[in-house]
Structure 1
Amino acid sequence: MSRCSLWASAVGAMLMLAGPCAAAQPQPDAVRPALLDSTSAAPSAAPTLRLDSLLAAAARGNPSLQAARLKTEARAERGAQTGALPDPTVGATAFPVPLVTARGEQRTQWRVQQAIPFPGKRTLRREVADLGADVARADAQALEQTLALRIRRAYYTLVRVRSHEHSIRRFQADLEQFERAAIAQYEVGEEGQSAVLKAQIERQRLQTRLEGLASERQSALQTLARLTGRAALAERDTQVAIPSRPDLPSTAPDEALDRRPEAEKLRRRIQQSEREAELAKTEQWPDFTVGAQYFDIAASDLGPTMTGRDALALSVGVTVPLWRGKQEANIQEARIERRRAETQLEGLRLEVRTRLADLQQQIERHRRQLTLLDETLLPKAETALETSLSGYRTGQNDFLDLLDAERTLFQLRLQRASVFARLLTTQAEWERTAGRVGLADGGE
């Protein structure tokens, strides 16, 4: 084959590569979520995971969440227990040695007693137990929001991994064309052997990166399987639905605190401590005991004026709260617990306020980075690649210039995918901090 024929073949290969690059015009608003969407390159038989279905699966199947909900149900039953009257006491007495009364021999003695707490104690005990159930319910809600955040983090990791894999395979395909063109020019003496080796090394490096991404993908799938209770997720290949770019969030810190289940838990603990202090004060008042006794006395031949057969006695008693030290200690403990809960609530308020401000700044920074990538860097990198390709065809640039331009565009695509995933994750963290995320949410 002549040198001219080989050169023509190389130029033809370059023209095949130039077609897609020249057709990609910069679109400020659509820069391409397609660059991020790994499902847009080629159809795949792998099932597509959706965030809302994962959140719904976790709401149904997460073992920790189910245990927390069962704990709430169990605590809800305590109010009926603590607010009930104590069980009555029934007793009987027999006399191994006959006890003879003026009326006759006493055979047995029967009695029943009922303890009655001081008025108000039962109500306070029920309120304390009901507030404890509210605390358990808030714990379950907080766990639900935390699970939703962890699922979204793992899902957005899959989004980034799939996007990086798509960009790498796209770069690999371009490198194959580059390598063929470099080989053709090497054979006609227009390019050195280093260009061919450079393309081959780059392809091998990309394969190593694909292996690392496969490990990340498997780890994310294992996390989702564990959080949703669906073990099959970790055993098959999957695609992901790419979320849209989120809007800039805005909320007042006080509104966020009102929605946080952790804040609701602390408010209930404050109320519970107040009721416990009131209950400890009422423990200083006596409880009552009422009872009745029946005396079974046998009949005898004594005169009718001698009464006393089958006697009935009524009794009343009170407890004497003589040792006041333990009641005073209970009151002090309840007051200290209230102050502790109030301090924790104030700390949570400060944490929410500062965390929201920090996350909002991060979101704004990620959005600026995306805008810069979409509207400036990626379009310029595509233009630079087209220019390098044109110069390579005309002999003004060498192969390494072309490879460097392609690598720059590839790195920017990876950067965009990473920034977009960080934006989604930061948005999810912001919503968790604001109390606006749960297993029933998470729409895309």
Structure 2
Amino acid sequence: MMRILCFFVLTLTMSLPGTVQAQAVEEVPLSLDGLVAQALERNPEIKASEARWQVFVERARQAGTFEDPMLMLGIQNAMVRDPLAFDRDNMTSKVIGISQMVPFAGKRALARRSAELDAEVRRWSLEERKIQIEFMVKESWNQLYAVDRSLEIIEKNIMLLDDLAHLTETLYGVGDALQQDVLRVQLERSKMEDMRIRLRQQRRSLAARLNVLAFRPAAEPIPTIPEVSLVPVTIDPAQLEELAYQHRPLLRGLQSEQEKSRVMRDLALRDNYPDFTLSLEYMQREPTTMGSEGYDMYSAGVSFNLPVQRQRRQAMVAEADSERRMAEQEIEMFRNDLRFDIADALARLERNRRMADLYQGGIIPQAEGTLDASLAAYRVGRAEFMNVLESQMTLFNYERDYFEAVAEHQMVRAQLEALVGTQLR
């Protein structure tokens, strides 16, 4: 019995470090960067895009290769009345031949390059989708930040309303307050409860969206989002445009489309030249009963198509030219939209940063001072109850506006990073 007890204690002791370590791993706080990394690694849409890209990579490996050679086996000039007699006539022979189709010089390389560019387009499409998924994660994270801060403000205001209700009921009991004041503060508290219910539902929806983007269970808990600090963007619009030209996958994809159209035009022009089929045959003959030696023979030849259907080939060239013009205009449209989007994002960033600074450094402290003064005056009967309640609700709205400005600033910053295709440090 003692041995069994000692073994149990030893086993439990040895298992404790692993258990503690596992709990430590599970308790690692969830961060925005961690969620982004999980989304980029696990999201099924990204995995589907990767598989689609691999499809085109494998197609590129097939493009530009030779067709399989053709093997021919036959009997030539056999007699119908004795089909298996190969020594009755000196013209009868057993034939084996091989042929190979060879495209005109340059066609295979152009076909391979076209397929490789098609795969490049899919790769840049994959990278663009990763940027979009990352932006969606950051957007939901910052929306959740605003909801969490609003819930904290509501909790604080409910406590203040409870204190105010207690004070109003006390003053009402001694005849220094009206019954409508008591009812009004109760009404405001009920409104806060209604807002808290709505925000909690909104938080569950945003948390589920974050989890789904990271391919986690939708009900997986998301902890309260920590505070963020506003970092101004000091890069000017011209530099941001240059960053986008260097890093934005969408532009790279459009440029690949443009190059592919040029390759397709060259390939269409090469189609005006024929493709060749080279063939070689060996004919084995038997000595005949009539004294013929039955010498073996061979034949070699080349055949090629006659590219006389000019109308079809001219249409192929015109199609490639149209695709090139379309790609060029799409690139110009991208650049034009990029200029506006960058200018608009910078303007909204500046507005939200200024608003946040104004709320934090001026409006909210002033509103807090107004509330404290109104409450102090109300306690001694020198202020109306509505002044106190209005001051408290004004402070509540200003605090919510501040955190919404902070969240909006962070979302616009994430949008700007998605526009240029890289992180802004």
Give TM-score, length-normalised by structure 1: 0.83
Whether 2:409 is the aligned partner of 1:423: answer: yes
State how far apart, in whole Å, the 1-side matches of 2:331 and 2:113 are: 21
> Is structure 2 residue 260 aligned with structure 1 residue 279?
no
The Cα offsets for residues 355-395 of structure 1, whole Å up to 9 and x where unpaired, read as 10011111111111111101110110111112112212322
Identical residues among aligned pairs (%): 27
Contact 2:367–2:395 (CA under 8 A) maintained in structure 1 = yes
Offset, 1:321: 1.1
Answering whether residue 351 of structure 2 is matched by residue 351 of structure 1, we say no
Contact 2:207 2:222 in 1 (8 A): no
Q: Give the CA deviation at 1:422.
A: 0.9
CA distance in 2, matches of 1:269, 1:332: 16
Partner of 1:238: 223
- The DSSP-based 3-state class of the residue aligned with 1:322 is coil
Cα displacement (A) at 1:118: 0.7
CA deviation map 1:402-435 (0-9, x unaligned): 2222111111111111111111111111111122
In 1, distance between residues paired with 2:296 and 2:127? 62
Confirm or deny: 8 A CA contact 1:103 1:307 kept in the other structure: no
User: Higher mean Cα deviation, 277-286 or 289-298?
Assistant: 289-298
| Secondary structure in 1 matching 2:72 | strand
CA distance in 2, matches of 1:96, 1:220: 85
- 1:367 paired with 2:343, answer no
Q: Distance in 1 between matches of 2:193 and 2:79?
A: 96
CA displacement at 1:261 relative to structure 2: 1.1
Aligned counterpart, 2:371: 385
> Is the 1:103–1:309 contact (alpha carbons within 8 Å) kept by the matching residues of 2?
no
DSSP-derived class of the 1:314 partner: strand
Query: Cα offset for 1:396?
Result: 1.0
Measured after TM superposition, the shift of residue 88 of structure 1 is 0.5
Matching residue of 2:54: 73
* Aligned-residue offset at 1:103: 5.7
* 1:405 lines up with 2:391 in the alignment: yes
Shift, 1:249, TM fit: 4.6
Letter in 2 for 1:183: E
Aligned to 1:216: 202
- Work out whether residues 78 and 129 of structure 1, in 8 Å CA contact, stay in contact via their aligned partners in 2: yes
Residue aligned with 1:248, SS: coil
Q: Distance in 1 between matches of 2:211 and 2:312?
A: 51
Counterparts of residues 104-143 of structure 1 (less than 5 Å): 104=90, 106=92, 108-143=94-129
- 1:6-405 aligned at under 5 Å gives the runs 49-94=30-75, 97=80, 98=83, 104=90, 106=92, 108-231=94-217, 233-236=218-221, 238-251=223-236, 252=238, 253-303=241-291, 306-405=292-391
C-alpha contact (below 8 Å) 2:286/2:294 kept by paired residues: no
Moved more, 403-412 or 136-145: 403-412
CA contact (8 A) 1:48 1:240 kept: no
CA–CA separation in structure 2 for the residues paired with 1:417 and 1:141: 32
User: CA distance change for structure 1 residues 359 and 96 in 2, over 3 Å: closer, same or farther?
Assistant: farther
Letter in 2 for 1:238: P
- Which one-letter code corresponds to 1:321 in the other structure? P
Q: Secondary structure at the match of 1:316?
A: strand
Determine the C-alpha separation between the residues in 1 that align with 2:187 and 2:223: 30
CA contact (8 A) 1:48 1:239 kept: no
CA RMSD, 1 decimal? 2.2
In structure 1, distance between residues paired with 2:60 and 2:220? 46
Q: Is the 8 A contact 2:356 2:405 kept in 1?
A: yes
Task: Find the counterpart in structure 2 of residue 23 from structure 1.
Answer: none
| Aligned amino acid, residue 288 of structure 1 | F
Q: Contact 2:69 / 2:101 at 8 angstroms: preserved in 1?
A: yes
Q: CA deviation at 1:107?
A: 5.3
The number of residues matched between the two structures is 392
Larger RCO (CA within 8 A; separation ≥ 6) = 1
* Residues 135 and 96 (structure 1), Cα distance of their counterparts in 2 relative to 1, 3 Å cut: farther
Read off the aligned partner of 1:65 and give its amino acid letter: I
Consecutive unaligned residues in structure 2, runs of 5 or more: 1-25
Residue identity matched to 2:420: A
Q: What is the TM-score with the length of structure 2 in the denominator?
A: 0.87
Structure 1 pair 286–346 and aligned structure 2 pair: CA distance change class (3 A): same
User: Displacement of 1:101 after TM fit?
Assistant: 7.8
45-54 or 84-93, larger mean C-alpha shift? 45-54
Deviation at 1:250, TM superposition (A): 2.0
SS in structure 2 opposite 1:234? coil
Contact 1:256 1:434 in 2 (8 A): yes
Would the alpha carbon gap of residues 186 and 96 (structure 1) be closer, same or farther in structure 2, given more than 3 Å must change? farther
Q: Contact 2:243–2:421 (CA<8 Å) still a contact in 1? A: no
Please give the alpha-carbon distance, in whole angstroms, between the structure 1 residues aligned to 2:231 and 2:400: 19
Displacement after TM superposition at 1:282 (Å): 0.7
